[in-house]
Amino acid sequence: MPAVQLLTKRRRVLVIKPRFSQAELKLAAVVGMTLNHTAGILLANGTIREIMLLAGGISMPLFARFISDGFEYTRDRGKYAFRLGVSAVISHFAFSFAFGTPYLISSAIFTLLLAFFALCVIHMESVPKSIRGLMLFYILICSLIGDWGWCAVLWAILFDLLKNRPESQFLMITAFVLIGVAYVIFMFGLTGTIAIRNFGFLLAIPLLLAYSGKQGRQPRALRSCLYLYYPAHLFVLGIIKDVIV
Protein backbone atom coordinates (compact mmCIF):
# COMPACT_ATOMS: atom_id res chain seq x y z
CA MET A 1 0.00 0.00 0.00
CA PRO A 2 1.43 3.44 -0.89
CA ALA A 3 2.89 5.48 1.95
CA VAL A 4 0.46 8.33 1.23
CA GLN A 5 -2.53 6.06 1.84
CA LEU A 6 -1.01 4.77 5.05
CA LEU A 7 -0.43 8.31 6.28
CA THR A 8 -3.98 9.27 5.37
CA LYS A 9 -5.38 6.30 7.26
CA ARG A 10 -3.29 7.11 10.31
CA ARG A 11 -4.62 10.62 10.34
CA ARG A 12 -8.17 9.38 10.13
CA VAL A 13 -7.56 7.18 13.14
CA LEU A 14 -5.91 9.87 15.25
CA VAL A 15 -8.02 12.90 14.38
CA ILE A 16 -11.31 12.96 16.24
CA LYS A 17 -14.09 15.32 15.23
CA PRO A 18 -13.80 18.39 17.51
CA ARG A 19 -16.38 18.21 20.26
CA PHE A 20 -15.02 20.00 23.32
CA SER A 21 -14.43 23.70 23.88
CA GLN A 22 -11.76 25.05 26.19
CA ALA A 23 -14.40 25.75 28.85
CA GLU A 24 -15.39 22.08 28.88
CA LEU A 25 -11.79 20.88 29.00
CA LYS A 26 -11.05 23.29 31.85
CA LEU A 27 -13.82 21.64 33.84
CA ALA A 28 -12.26 18.22 33.19
CA ALA A 29 -8.83 19.53 34.19
CA VAL A 30 -10.15 21.07 37.41
CA VAL A 31 -11.99 17.86 38.35
CA GLY A 32 -8.86 15.80 37.71
CA MET A 33 -6.70 18.19 39.70
CA THR A 34 -9.15 18.15 42.61
CA LEU A 35 -9.20 14.34 42.66
CA ASN A 36 -5.41 14.27 42.63
CA HIS A 37 -5.03 16.76 45.46
CA THR A 38 -7.78 15.20 47.56
CA ALA A 39 -6.10 11.81 47.31
CA GLY A 40 -2.63 13.18 47.93
CA ILE A 41 -3.63 15.24 50.96
CA LEU A 42 -6.39 13.29 52.68
CA LEU A 43 -6.22 9.61 51.75
CA ALA A 44 -3.92 6.91 53.06
CA ASN A 45 -2.19 4.50 50.69
CA GLY A 46 -4.67 2.20 49.02
CA THR A 47 -6.50 1.37 45.82
CA ILE A 48 -8.90 4.33 45.94
CA ARG A 49 -6.02 6.75 46.45
CA GLU A 50 -4.10 5.33 43.51
CA ILE A 51 -7.14 5.45 41.22
CA MET A 52 -7.73 9.10 42.10
CA LEU A 53 -4.06 9.96 41.56
CA LEU A 54 -4.17 8.17 38.22
CA ALA A 55 -7.28 10.10 37.17
CA GLY A 56 -5.62 13.32 38.25
CA GLY A 57 -2.96 12.81 35.62
CA ILE A 58 -5.38 14.24 33.09
CA SER A 59 -4.84 17.77 34.40
CA MET A 60 -1.19 18.54 33.58
CA PRO A 61 -1.37 18.05 29.78
CA LEU A 62 -4.60 20.04 29.64
CA PHE A 63 -3.28 22.96 31.67
CA ALA A 64 -0.09 23.01 29.61
CA ARG A 65 -2.23 23.27 26.47
CA PHE A 66 -4.27 26.09 28.04
CA ILE A 67 -1.07 28.05 28.69
CA SER A 68 -0.05 27.61 25.07
CA ASP A 69 -3.49 28.76 23.89
CA GLY A 70 -3.55 31.62 26.37
CA PHE A 71 -0.22 32.90 25.13
CA GLU A 72 -1.45 32.83 21.54
CA TYR A 73 -4.91 34.29 21.96
CA THR A 74 -4.77 36.68 24.93
CA ARG A 75 -5.15 40.34 24.06
CA ASP A 76 -2.75 41.47 26.79
CA ARG A 77 0.09 39.12 27.73
CA GLY A 78 1.17 41.43 30.52
CA LYS A 79 -2.19 41.18 32.26
CA TYR A 80 -2.29 37.44 31.63
CA ALA A 81 1.09 37.02 33.33
CA PHE A 82 0.04 39.32 36.17
CA ARG A 83 -3.07 37.26 36.93
CA LEU A 84 -1.01 34.08 36.87
CA GLY A 85 1.60 35.71 39.10
CA VAL A 86 -0.90 36.83 41.74
CA SER A 87 -2.47 33.39 41.78
CA ALA A 88 1.00 31.80 42.00
CA VAL A 89 1.90 33.86 45.08
CA ILE A 90 -1.31 32.95 46.91
CA SER A 91 -1.12 29.34 45.75
CA HIS A 92 2.46 29.03 47.00
CA PHE A 93 1.31 29.35 50.61
CA ALA A 94 -1.83 27.29 50.02
CA PHE A 95 0.24 24.46 48.53
CA SER A 96 2.71 24.49 51.42
CA PHE A 97 -0.12 24.54 53.97
CA ALA A 98 -2.08 21.71 52.37
CA PHE A 99 0.79 19.34 51.60
CA GLY A 100 3.04 20.34 54.49
CA THR A 101 5.95 21.01 52.14
CA PRO A 102 8.81 23.47 52.79
CA TYR A 103 8.23 26.98 51.45
CA LEU A 104 11.01 26.35 48.95
CA ILE A 105 8.64 24.05 47.04
CA SER A 106 5.97 25.86 45.04
CA SER A 107 2.68 25.05 43.34
CA ALA A 108 1.66 24.09 39.82
CA ILE A 109 0.53 27.68 39.18
CA PHE A 110 4.13 28.80 39.67
CA THR A 111 5.20 26.20 37.11
CA LEU A 112 2.53 27.35 34.64
CA LEU A 113 3.71 30.93 35.09
CA LEU A 114 7.22 29.82 34.16
CA ALA A 115 5.77 27.99 31.16
CA PHE A 116 4.17 31.24 30.02
CA PHE A 117 7.50 33.06 30.45
CA ALA A 118 9.18 30.32 28.41
CA LEU A 119 6.78 30.92 25.53
CA CYS A 120 7.49 34.65 25.75
CA VAL A 121 11.21 33.93 25.48
CA ILE A 122 10.77 31.60 22.50
CA HIS A 123 8.93 34.30 20.57
CA MET A 124 11.47 37.05 21.30
CA GLU A 125 12.75 36.92 17.75
CA SER A 126 14.85 40.06 18.17
CA VAL A 127 16.92 38.35 20.88
CA PRO A 128 19.80 36.09 19.74
CA LYS A 129 19.05 32.37 19.93
CA SER A 130 21.99 31.79 22.27
CA ILE A 131 20.58 34.26 24.79
CA ARG A 132 17.10 32.78 24.48
CA GLY A 133 18.56 29.32 25.03
CA LEU A 134 20.21 30.45 28.27
CA MET A 135 16.98 32.08 29.42
CA LEU A 136 15.02 28.90 28.73
CA PHE A 137 17.60 26.83 30.58
CA TYR A 138 17.27 29.13 33.59
CA ILE A 139 13.47 28.86 33.47
CA LEU A 140 13.68 25.06 33.39
CA ILE A 141 16.03 25.09 36.39
CA CYS A 142 13.63 27.34 38.32
CA SER A 143 10.73 25.02 37.46
CA LEU A 144 12.35 22.18 39.41
CA ILE A 145 11.01 23.65 42.65
CA GLY A 146 7.45 23.73 41.35
CA ASP A 147 4.79 21.06 41.24
CA TRP A 148 4.91 19.30 37.84
CA GLY A 149 8.44 20.68 37.40
CA TRP A 150 10.09 21.03 34.03
CA CYS A 151 7.59 18.67 32.39
CA ALA A 152 4.79 21.25 32.39
CA VAL A 153 7.12 23.91 30.96
CA LEU A 154 8.37 21.62 28.23
CA TRP A 155 4.86 20.43 27.39
CA ALA A 156 3.63 24.01 26.97
CA ILE A 157 6.56 24.71 24.65
CA LEU A 158 5.87 21.61 22.59
CA PHE A 159 2.16 22.39 22.38
CA ASP A 160 3.14 25.79 21.02
CA LEU A 161 5.53 24.31 18.48
CA LEU A 162 3.13 21.52 17.47
CA LYS A 163 -0.10 23.51 17.31
CA ASN A 164 -2.54 22.30 14.66
CA ARG A 165 -0.68 18.96 14.61
CA PRO A 166 -2.76 16.61 16.83
CA GLU A 167 -0.89 13.49 15.71
CA SER A 168 2.41 14.93 16.90
CA GLN A 169 0.84 15.98 20.20
CA PHE A 170 -0.46 12.43 20.67
CA LEU A 171 3.03 11.02 20.10
CA MET A 172 4.56 13.62 22.42
CA ILE A 173 2.31 12.72 25.35
CA THR A 174 2.83 9.00 24.82
CA ALA A 175 6.61 9.45 24.68
CA PHE A 176 6.57 11.47 27.92
CA VAL A 177 4.55 8.78 29.68
CA LEU A 178 6.86 5.97 28.60
CA ILE A 179 9.96 7.96 29.53
CA GLY A 180 8.42 8.81 32.90
CA VAL A 181 7.61 5.19 33.66
CA ALA A 182 11.10 4.08 32.62
CA TYR A 183 12.66 6.81 34.79
CA VAL A 184 10.66 5.81 37.88
CA ILE A 185 11.52 2.14 37.44
CA PHE A 186 15.20 2.94 36.84
CA MET A 187 15.50 5.31 39.81
CA PHE A 188 13.34 3.53 42.37
CA GLY A 189 13.10 -0.01 41.08
CA LEU A 190 9.32 0.17 41.22
CA THR A 191 6.96 -1.46 38.78
CA GLY A 192 3.85 -0.78 40.83
CA THR A 193 1.72 2.19 41.70
CA ILE A 194 4.21 5.06 41.32
CA ALA A 195 5.04 4.02 37.78
CA ILE A 196 1.40 3.32 36.92
CA ARG A 197 0.36 6.87 37.90
CA ASN A 198 2.23 8.20 34.88
CA PHE A 199 -0.30 6.52 32.61
CA GLY A 200 -2.87 9.00 33.89
CA PHE A 201 -1.44 11.52 31.44
CA LEU A 202 -2.73 9.34 28.61
CA LEU A 203 -6.28 10.13 29.71
CA ALA A 204 -5.82 13.61 28.28
CA ILE A 205 -5.14 12.35 24.75
CA PRO A 206 -8.74 11.71 23.59
CA LEU A 207 -9.84 15.04 25.05
CA LEU A 208 -7.05 16.94 23.31
CA LEU A 209 -7.75 15.18 20.03
CA ALA A 210 -11.40 16.22 20.35
CA TYR A 211 -10.53 19.78 21.39
CA SER A 212 -12.06 22.36 19.07
CA GLY A 213 -9.54 25.05 19.98
CA LYS A 214 -12.42 27.40 20.77
CA GLN A 215 -12.94 29.00 24.16
CA GLY A 216 -16.63 28.30 24.45
CA ARG A 217 -18.88 30.28 26.76
CA GLN A 218 -16.63 31.58 29.53
CA PRO A 219 -18.02 34.54 31.47
CA ARG A 220 -15.33 36.81 32.88
CA ALA A 221 -16.35 35.78 36.40
CA LEU A 222 -15.69 32.13 35.51
CA ARG A 223 -12.24 32.92 34.14
CA SER A 224 -11.40 34.81 37.33
CA CYS A 225 -12.71 32.00 39.51
CA LEU A 226 -10.24 29.57 37.96
CA TYR A 227 -7.35 31.65 39.32
CA LEU A 228 -8.97 31.62 42.76
CA TYR A 229 -10.12 28.01 42.83
CA TYR A 230 -6.62 26.52 42.90
CA PRO A 231 -5.46 28.18 46.15
CA ALA A 232 -8.96 28.07 47.67
CA HIS A 233 -9.42 24.32 47.31
CA LEU A 234 -5.93 23.70 48.70
CA PHE A 235 -6.66 25.81 51.78
CA VAL A 236 -9.92 23.89 52.29
CA LEU A 237 -8.20 20.51 51.93
CA GLY A 238 -5.46 21.63 54.30
CA ILE A 239 -8.01 22.64 56.93
CA ILE A 240 -9.86 19.33 56.54
CA LYS A 241 -6.56 17.47 56.94
CA ASP A 242 -5.78 19.34 60.15
CA VAL A 243 -9.25 18.59 61.54
CA ILE A 244 -9.02 14.89 60.67
CA VAL A 245 -5.51 14.53 62.03
- What are the tens digits of pLDDT across the range 126-140? 999 999 999 999 999
**Average pLDDT in the 107-136 region?**
96
Residue 20 confidence class, pLDDT cut points 50, 70, 90: confident
Please, where are the H alpha helices in the chain? 3-14, 22-42, 47-56, 59-73, 77-99, 108-122, 129-143, 149-161, 166-188, 193-197, 204-209, 220-244
32-67, pLDDT tens digit by residue? 999 999 999 999 888 899 899 999 999 999 999 999
80, 158, 176 from 69: Cα distances, Å: 12, 12, 20
Q: CA triplet 39, 42, 47: central angle to 5 degrees?
A: 45
pLDDT tens digits for 142-152? 999 999 888 89
Query: What rounded mean pLDDT belongs to the chain?
Result: 84
In this prediction, residues 154-178 reach a mean pLDDT of: 81
> Can you give the pLDDT at residue 161?
86
Q: What is the pLDDT of residues 69-90, one digit of tens each?
A: 999 988 899 999 999 999 999 9
| Phi, psi dihedral angles at 189 (to 5 degrees) | 65, 30
More confidently predicted of 35 and 161: 35
Q: What is the pLDDT of residue 1?
A: 46
* pLDDT tens digits, one per residue of 85-108: 999 999 999 999 999 988 888 999
The share of the chain scoring above pLDDT 90, in percent, equals 50
Model confidence at 200, pLDDT cuts 50, 70, 90, reads confident
Residue 73 and residue 71: Cα distance in Å, rounded?
Answer: 6
